[in-house]
Structure 1
């Protein structure tokens, strides 16, 4: 874990003992700090019984405390902890702020911070992958993966890659990212902010914390994002994907305009870290995506198998359908769709029906999707996932894409979208012989 002498002898209250909160308590205790911890759930408090004081900071006199560390899930606009702490002059912070305070004691390193409304997770995982394939010591954390304080410090020359939500940035004051990436900013989480402008400004604070020697990478895709780059002292690299000249076909897990922004952002950020164009391209080419989110399962006999099980509504599925346009006038997508419906109709998916070679309907929503799709595309009523994949494999030709992007919840046949995605992987492996060796070869960029 990451510890720091800077915390020794200091006092912190930690509110919320889920993953990041528990990691925070462990790191502070190991650093020699006094810790008061609290969670409403008995089971969350149990691991710390007898190891630190268990008390609700809302019921305490916080005089002399150095900080109240809260989970990003605590709504600062409505929760009483912030005004309570302010009565005692105590800052309300998060685990990312503690990481920032611990940085001077870590081996020399760099930090890449990535925020925005859409694409944060993919861009974070992609930057991490590019660095890793280039042989750079790296880890990722923040809003993805393990809590950053639970991870082992990187050796000298390492790069920490952090996905940062607006909630996490709201709790951070000292994080000077060597490279800060700001993607698009569109309305979201407005229940936590007084206005869209306030939400956008929260994102922009990541850039505002940087020093003059740092670099910012900013997308031109939204006006709200561009506004956050006004009057900055550091170098700012703007990027725009509207007239991007390069072919994305060599990046199989980064198809579609939404992933183009992620790819260009990652490429620009890694350029600021002085990776070579060859190192960056190798990382883009071998990236397999996040689990269940446009995840490249394998390429077999020229056919891509894509697991987009996390697409649980038509709005989430539409970008996946848009990502694979026809080639030579021939639609390529064999779309596996259905499950437990969240809404009726095709929604924005209807705009991309010209990309679909055939649809294979499954689950409770299967009959309804078949009715909606049959006037437009060839439909096979498969009912079960295994049958759908089997039929799609029998029909798909080299250059086609077998896409699980159900546009529905999973609960009719699976525990959750992760179980559904895992089942898809297993069926694909059984039908194609996609062993671990094939997966390793694919990640290495070899032809399989």
Structure 2
């Protein structure tokens, strides 16, 4: 646990008592603060009270009297589309609003660091797609190389639940736009921007607000090294803002769409090969084609970002390559769950938006595509032109018929349920086909999370294969 600094003897309100909220309350208590907890869910309040916390309705009159700060969990709106009433009350009372990420950055360093030979470093990864895989890949490569490392944030543990730093530690954080948007302190040593595509636009009042939330990690944080995906205009703009000139290698540019051989420090992947160029000369290369845990161009972009981080931390290219080779991938992200009868079954339930689905579709051939769910703002227009490898689509979700009608040029079967979609795809699949779950939609019309949707897909596939074998 990281005890929160700066609030000893003070009252701090905590709104939202999920994983990160409870970890925040405990870290505040460890730092000598009094945590005033609230969650609309009575069961969450019961858990907190069983842990010795005082729960108080933060909407009652004078609730914010003598409160030093309000700490808000990521899923709770603080500005758009409308602030949560508790957040609005705090702002009205002049109480600062923060989150656990802000508390982490103000509390992580301690007096013990003066005794360390190698100061700990924090790597923060943000972007629309690929954050989790990139973060996990960095963590994996460092672990395989014998470096002490911890993984937290939007993946794994809550940031305040981490162990106190030891000599030479590397902390890898996956940060969503919800987290970077509100944190009052952002000071990573290395910051990564993977890419940008429309997502969470209601929470940020449009694309500009969404990009601004991501950009805060760099503008507010002032990292020593910035690793920027430059395949979108926003990334090129961000890199241009941060760099002092073409030779400024504090900004490392990454791409899977173009060859980057300028005077700076560049990493790009083309046709399955990753190349590192520095000062116009090649400094390293990795053949990514045989690495099963990193299929497709979107994962090659993740590999470029992870490679850049590890190089910035001093790892040799061959050490990084060995780490890549043993990486098994993450659940629900282009995860191969079975291969039978010449058919490959892939779970990419995390492809919750159109851009992520496009990248998944580009990674495989002869696709039996399971898609559908709670459609996001912007519709499916951007998918058109990316479905050339799709043999047939099997559409799930409560609005499956409407979803299917938008898949112009694709043979689509309305299945509604995952069980029916998997059964039809398996029955019709031929040798060389890939049955791919890449929904291009949120899960919340049928499932509590993309993880539960992916788990259902995997269970349906395994039942189908077992029935076929009996």
TM-score range, shorter chain: 0.7 to 0.9
Residues 71 and 271 (structure 1 numbering): CA distance in 2 closer, same or farther, change over 3 Å?
Answer: same
Residues 361 and 149 (structure 1 numbering): CA distance in 2 closer, same or farther, change over 3 Å?
Answer: same
Residues 232 and 73 (structure 1 numbering): CA distance in 2 closer, same or farther, change over 3 Å?
Answer: farther
Residues 92 and 366 (structure 1 numbering): CA distance in 2 closer, same or farther, change over 3 Å?
Answer: closer
Deviates more, 1:258-267 or 1:78-87: 78-87
Is 1:216 paired with 2:226? yes
Please report how far the alpha carbon of residue 216 of structure 1 lies from its aligned counterpart in structure 2 after TM superposition: 0.7
- Separation (CA, whole Å) in 2 of partners of 1:30 and 1:315: 42
Aligned positions, number: 419
The one of 134, 142, 149 aligned to 1:131: 142
Tell me which residue corresponds to 1:118: 129
Tell me which residue corresponds to 1:166: 177
Please report how far the alpha carbon of residue 111 of structure 1 lies from its aligned counterpart in structure 2 after TM superposition: 0.8
- Separation (CA, whole Å) in 2 of partners of 1:355 and 1:432: 24
Residues 378 and 141 (structure 1 numbering): CA distance in 2 closer, same or farther, change over 3 Å?
Answer: closer
Q: Is the partner of 1:90 in helix, strand or coil?
A: coil
- 2:354 touches 2:441 (CA, 8 Å); kept in 1? yes
Residues 371 and 266 (structure 1 numbering): CA distance in 2 closer, same or farther, change over 3 Å?
Answer: same
- Separation (CA, whole Å) in 2 of partners of 1:194 and 1:407: 21
Please report how far the alpha carbon of residue 378 of structure 1 lies from its aligned counterpart in structure 2 after TM superposition: 12
Tell me which residue corresponds to 1:25: 25
Q: Is the partner of 1:191 in helix, strand or coil?
A: helix
Please report how far the alpha carbon of residue 34 of structure 1 lies from its aligned counterpart in structure 2 after TM superposition: 1.3
Alignment of 1:224-263 (within 5 A): 224-229=234-239, 230-231=241-242, 235-243=250-258, 244-245=269-270, 247=272, 248-263=288-303
Please report how far the alpha carbon of residue 7 of structure 1 lies from its aligned counterpart in structure 2 after TM superposition: 4.2
Mind listing any 5+ residue stretches in structure 2 that lack a counterpart? 114-118, 259-268, 273-287
The one of 436, 452, 457 aligned to 1:403: 436
Tell me which residue corresponds to 1:436: none
- Separation (CA, whole Å) in 1 of partners of 2:234 and 2:443: 35
- 1:339 touches 1:412 (CA, 8 Å); kept in 2? no
- Separation (CA, whole Å) in 2 of partners of 1:100 and 1:18: 20
Is 1:281 paired with 2:313? no
Mind listing any 5+ residue stretches in structure 1 that lack a counterpart? 325-331, 434-448
Please report how far the alpha carbon of residue 280 of structure 1 lies from its aligned counterpart in structure 2 after TM superposition: 1.9
- Separation (CA, whole Å) in 2 of partners of 1:25 and 1:163: 21
- Separation (CA, whole Å) in 1 of partners of 2:120 and 2:47: 32
Alignment of 1:79-228 (within 5 A): 79=83, 81=86, 84-86=89-91, 89-105=94-110, 108-193=119-204, 196-211=207-222, 214-228=224-238
Q: CA RMSD in A?
A: 4.2
- Separation (CA, whole Å) in 2 of partners of 1:284 and 1:134: 11
- Separation (CA, whole Å) in 1 of partners of 2:39 and 2:412: 53
Residues 383 and 73 (structure 1 numbering): CA distance in 2 closer, same or farther, change over 3 Å?
Answer: closer
Please report how far the alpha carbon of residue 323 of structure 1 lies from its aligned counterpart in structure 2 after TM superposition: 1.3
- 1:297 touches 1:307 (CA, 8 Å); kept in 2? yes
- 1:303 touches 1:396 (CA, 8 Å); kept in 2? yes
Tell me which residue corresponds to 1:439: none
Alignment of 1:31-110 (within 5 A): 31-49=31-49, 51-58=52-59, 59-60=61-62, 62=64, 64-77=66-79, 78-79=82-83, 81=86, 84-86=89-91, 89-105=94-110, 108-110=119-121
Residues 361 and 279 (structure 1 numbering): CA distance in 2 closer, same or farther, change over 3 Å?
Answer: same
- 1:340 touches 1:408 (CA, 8 Å); kept in 2? yes
- Separation (CA, whole Å) in 2 of partners of 1:206 and 1:271: 21
- Separation (CA, whole Å) in 2 of partners of 1:56 and 1:143: 27
Please report how far the alpha carbon of residue 94 of structure 1 lies from its aligned counterpart in structure 2 after TM superposition: 0.5
- Separation (CA, whole Å) in 2 of partners of 1:122 and 1:404: 17
- Separation (CA, whole Å) in 2 of partners of 1:308 and 1:321: 10
TM-score (norm 1): 0.76
Q: Is the partner of 1:117 in helix, strand or coil?
A: coil
Tell me which residue corresponds to 2:281: none
Please report how far the alpha carbon of residue 388 of structure 1 lies from its aligned counterpart in structure 2 after TM superposition: 4.2
Please report how far the alpha carbon of residue 24 of structure 1 lies from its aligned counterpart in structure 2 after TM superposition: 0.7
Deviates more, 1:5-14 or 1:225-234: 225-234
- 1:314 touches 1:408 (CA, 8 Å); kept in 2? yes
Q: Is the partner of 2:74 in helix, strand or coil?
A: coil
Please report how far the alpha carbon of residue 88 of structure 1 lies from its aligned counterpart in structure 2 after TM superposition: 5.5
